Every structure is written in structure tokens, then in C-alpha cells.
Amino acid sequence: MTISAAASDLPSIEPLGDAALTVVFGRQASPDNSARALGFAKLLSRHREHDAILGSITEWAPAFCSVTVWFDPLSTDRQALIARLQVLADQGTRLESEGQEWLIPVCFDPRHAPDLNFLAQSCGLDTREVVALMTETTFTVRMLGFLPGFPYMDGLSPVLSQPRLKTPRKTVPARSIAVAGEQCAAYPWESPGGWHLLGRTPVPLFSLDRPERPALLVPGDRVRWRAIAAEEYETLEARYARPGWSLQEFLPDGQTPGSSISTTKPALLSDISPSIPDRRAATPQGSLPATTAAAGLLEIIDPAWAASIQDQGRAGYRALGIPLSGALDPSRQAAANALAGNTPQAATLEMLGGGPTLAVRQGPVRCALAGAGTLVRTSATGLTCTLPAWRGIVLHAGDTLQVRLDDSQPAYLALSGGIQSEPVLDSRATYGRARLGGLAGEPLRAGHRLPCAALTTDDARSDLQALPLAAPPSEKRHEHALLTLRVIAGPQDHHFTEQARTRFCTETYTVSRDADRMGLRLEGPEIKHGEQGADIVTDGITPGAIQVPANGQPIILLADAQTTGGYAKIATVIQADLPLLARLAPGSTVAFRYVDASEALAALQACTAAAAGWQASLRKMPSAGALQTDALAHIDYSFR
């Protein structure tokens, strides 16, 4: 690894909403631009702890020829930060990293290469020539992004260069080898994708079972593909699904089985990321103190549909391609935690479109529901009571709790102390595609147990949230059929015609049924690209970013959004309006209105102040001091 400084063209700093900036070093992927991006990230790592302005940065992640920087807009002087970033970018520091060489098996059989014939025909080749070009090339990993451990590589033969698919696939099989533009990539996980699929490897590309190297391929690595037949692929896929194999199997000829595997990944990421090495062992925010036993326990009887454990997200790991994740509606989740007496960061149960049934195995515990619905508690003696949302309730061992939701918007069930599942990379948030967080990353099912904190006798007597409460102010912001979302233009609004930019903020769009935790697809008037087209050199993405692929239909990205993307982004929804995205059901109509950073900050400050005022009102409620624990079990909470 070498660091050098040299003069360079002036980089640009482009807005990615009101809580992120992208520092761009070039418009084309090249080894030089990649070295400049990594060098800039190295400077951030070196100066952040000793620079008050840079200290407001929460995370950054390099891409091919850019670095995306995230910050807290409430505590950051945006203009001062932009000026400081410009000074660092102008230094032209470069970081070169020489990684490991790999020879990785890939099956190019049509069963694993659905786009091989199409790409061959488009390039005027036959499939054997395409495979030969793929296996004779040495690719270099330049960045990780999109998904955990997703490597972007250059070196693709110009003969094979093709634009991304006009409409991205909804599902790409895990471990697919793909090309787009002048780049090659490998999908570690099943996911959506817009690249051309030319083969598939049986080798796991990301695993937390390899803590020293969770991502197999990292920046600086050099990769060659070895063609294998379908029969060998099946044999190896079964073998690599079990323990007992070594990464040394993928060293090229000439390197002995005893050769050590480079630890470039941790060394490099400690240079370019603020969080990878120093937060891995940290206790997640919202956890119980180390001296507190998680003595409360609820068991899932009926998990309902699309329920998952979520907290405020897995910040700090986007340099590894790991998405933020966390609650789709952070304002509702914070409200649920406040009602349960938790910190905002505590893990909760997020529910979409249906409520679970849970049995209390150990208690007493307090729970609270934020969202449209009711809680129905049945005591061990058969007494049933109903509690509307925005209240809390104390549950005892033997009680059963049923959550009934009125709509498909996200609702949150908070438990005292937060759900104490095993943290993964500083967070309990479930990221299903990579099986991270939650309960071993699995979908919740009957029999799963949710540990939390048991209440003391005094806490159980103070069932303050049993009294009627008003919903927080954030619940009153979506009362009209048409929702207007405030956005900040860019970072690639110049990729669209002037007419398209005008249409974007004057027409309305309908939310399609094709939506998940990654994003919302909209349907409406086509947003046409200019001469530069829909594709860009892959760069950073943040929740709220609005991508427009070649079909001209916008996609608003949500909590599980990929960390990087290659479609032009016309605008980004501001932080104050992000919670509203999760409340958009299929068929909802939206419009967009451009604002600047100062208006976005004022909106966020107003939302934050309103939420703080509502939470303060909880602490001013009269005490239920005279109530006894046994009596609480028989209160009628329905307020008929």
C-alpha cells in the first residue's frame, strides 16, 4: 500500500439529499480516479478525530471515482463542511492497494447464464468467445457496494461492454457473475439487479463466519474466472455450503496451499472507513446495561406477515456494502420506544400489514404500539382487554397479546428495554437478504422468542401509558389524498432533459404494488434522460434517493436500499419526509417539490422539536402510585 500526492483537476462536491454529500473525482471509472477516491477517504480517516468540522461526519464510503459522506444535519454547518471537504479533495492524495490474487470457479452453462446468448449476439460474438474473454481477463476489484461484499471490478474487455438492463430484474440469483458498461461484478446475495448475467460461482462471496475477511473480494484484489461444467458446479456448491474448506483453494497456480491469505480487507478498511475496526465489539445503543438481565421473554405464537426486528440501523458499514437497514418509519419507532420507556435506539418489532400473536413467558414487561391498530391482551385467567395504539400496557407471565393492525403502514411494538436479540455489527436490525441481525437474520416464525427487560415492582405499578394519549404530531402530516414530498435536486439531475426535470416536479406519480424494504417503484409520466443516458459510474446511495432507470419510471429507495447504484438520481427526499415514504400504500399518489438545504434543515428541526415536545409530555403524566401490580392486571384498558 502506497500513498502519494499529486496535482489533479478540481473535484466537485454534489448533494445527496440534506444528510449526505458525494465528492466526485471523475466521470469515468479508472485506476487513477479510484486511487484518488481511496486517498481522499484515507485523509478523512486521518483528520476526522482532530477536526471539529469533520467530526460531524458519521460515515463515508468510497466508490469507483467518488466518496459519499454522511453527516448529521442537525449538528453540522453544511457550508463549512463542504468547504473543508473541498480543501481535502484538492490535495489530490492517492491510495494504492495491492491485494490478493484469486482464481475462482464459474459455471457459464445457460442454466446459470441467462444473458450469455443475448450479450454474445449484441456483441457480434458466439458464446464460446464471450466465455474466453471472461476467463482470459484479470479483473481488479475497485470498490465494494450495492450489497454486503458486492465487488465492482474493472478490466472488462471493451468488446463486451453493454448498458445496464432498461428495466432491472426483480431477482438475481446469489453468486451470479455479471457485466454492465465496462465493469464486472459478482452478486453475493439474491437481490434485484440490472446487470447482464453471464455465469455463477459456487463460492460464498460474503460470510461473517470469516470475521477476518467477511468479504472474499476487496479493493485491490485481482480476480480470474475458471470455467467449470454444470456437474462440477453442483458438486462444489454442495461442498462449500458445509464447513471444512479453505480460501486457499482459490489461489492461482504457483501459490502453494500453505500461502497465507492477505488481510488487505481489514487493513484497507481501517484506512478508508471510520467504523469498521473500532465499533465491531461495541454494545449497540439501546441495549440493556451489562448488569441488567434480560429477564422478560415473549414467544411468537403467530408471526403474521412481514414482521422483523428493527432498530435505528447499522450505520458505519457501507464501505463493506452493508446497507443501513433499520426502521422504515423511524419516527413511529421512536414513539413506540418512548411509550415503553426505552431509548430511541432500542430494537422493536416492525410489522407490515398484519399483527403477530405473542405469549408472555416471563414478566412483567411493558409494551407499546405505535401505528394504526390495537393491542388485545388476554390474561392467564381469561380476562380480555383492548388498548388502542399510542398507549403502553404491562403484561404478566401467562398473558397473551394479539396485535391488530388497521392498514399496511409500518407499525412498531416496543418491549421494555428493547428486544435483546444478538447484535451483529453494532445493530440488531434485520437485513434479510444477507441474513444479518434479528434472530439469525431469519424471518420470524412461531416458536421464536423475544428477550427483553422485566419490570421491577415499582415499574409495573407505574403503568402511566395506560392513560389515553394523543398520537405524536408526525401522525398528522399525511391527511390528504396527494402527498407532496420535499426533495433536494441531484446529484445527477443534469442527466435529465430540462422538460423532464420540470415534469418531475409538476406531475403526479402513483405507487405501484412492486415495493419492499429496498424501495418504492412509481408509475407515471416518463422522466426522459438527456444525452448522457440513465447509466452513471456507480456511486453512493442513501435512503430517499430517487433513481430513474432507462424506462423513465422513478424508484424511491428505502431503509434496505443498496449502498451504491449505477442509475442516475434526479433528486433525494429530505430527512424530515423520510418517515412518510413508509406510509405510502400501493395506489397512493405523490408529487415532488424542490427545496434547498436551508428549508430542509428547518423542516427537520421542526419535526425534531415536535417529537421532543410529545415525548416530554409523557414524563409529565400523573403517577399511578396507588395502583398495585395485581390490580393492574384487571384494569379495562379499552376506555369504552
pLDDT tens readout for residues 35-51:
999 899 989 988 888 89
Residue 241: what pLDDT?
A: 94
Residue 281: what pLDDT?
A: 37
Residue 635: what pLDDT?
A: 32
CB 495 within 8 Å of CB 530 = yes
Residue 252: what pLDDT?
A: 87
Same topology between domain 101-260 and domain 482-600: yes
Residue 184: what pLDDT?
A: 96
CATH class assigned to 101-260: mainly beta
Residue 433: what pLDDT?
A: 86
> Domain segments of the chain: what residues?
2-96, 101-260, 296-467, 482-600
Which amino acid does the sequence have at 490? G
- What's phi and psi for 169, nearest 5 deg? -65, 150
Per-residue cell: 192 = 434485484
Burial category of 65 from C-beta neighbours within 10 Å (exposed 0-12, middle 13-18, buried 19 and up): buried
DSSP assignment, residue 382? S
pTM: 0.85
* Distance, first Cα to last Cα, the chain: 70
CB 415 within 8 Å of CB 403 = no
For domain 482-600, give its CATH number from 2.30.30.110, 3.90.79.10, 3.30.2270.10, 2.40.100.10: 2.40.100.10
The angle that helices 127-136 and 116-123 make with each other, rounded to 10 degrees, is 90
Residue 29: what pLDDT?
A: 84
Question: Coil, helix or strand for 507?
Answer: coil
Sign of CA dihedral 49, 53, 56, 57: negative
Question: Coil, helix or strand for 120?
Answer: helix
For domain 2-96, give its CATH number from 3.20.20.70, 3.30.1360.40, 3.40.720.10, 3.30.450.40: 3.30.1360.40
DSSP assignment, residue 206? B
SS (H, E, C) 411-456: EEEEECCCCCCCCECCECCCEHHHCECCECCECCCCCCEEEECCCC
pLDDT tens digits along 14-32: 999 999 999 999 988 888 8
Kind plus residue range of the DSSP H or E element containing 601? helix 597-619
Q: What is the mean pLDDT of each run of 10 residues along the chain (640 residues)?
A: 41 96 92 90 88 93 94 96 95 80 97 97 97 97 90 95 88 96 93 94 93 86 97 97 92 59 44 48 44 75 90 92 95 94 95 92 94 93 90 92 91 96 94 91 92 77 53 71 92 94 95 92 96 91 96 96 93 96 93 97 96 84 37 30
> Residue with C-alpha cell 416464525?
445
- What's phi and psi for 286, nearest 5 deg? 90, 0
Residue 262: what pLDDT?
A: 43
Which amino acid does the sequence have at 330? P
pLDDT tens digits along 374-384: 999 999 999 99
> Residue with C-alpha cell 408529487?
591
Q: How far is CA 407 from CA 352, 353, 371, 575, in A?
A: 8, 6, 9, 24
Residue 277: what pLDDT?
A: 40
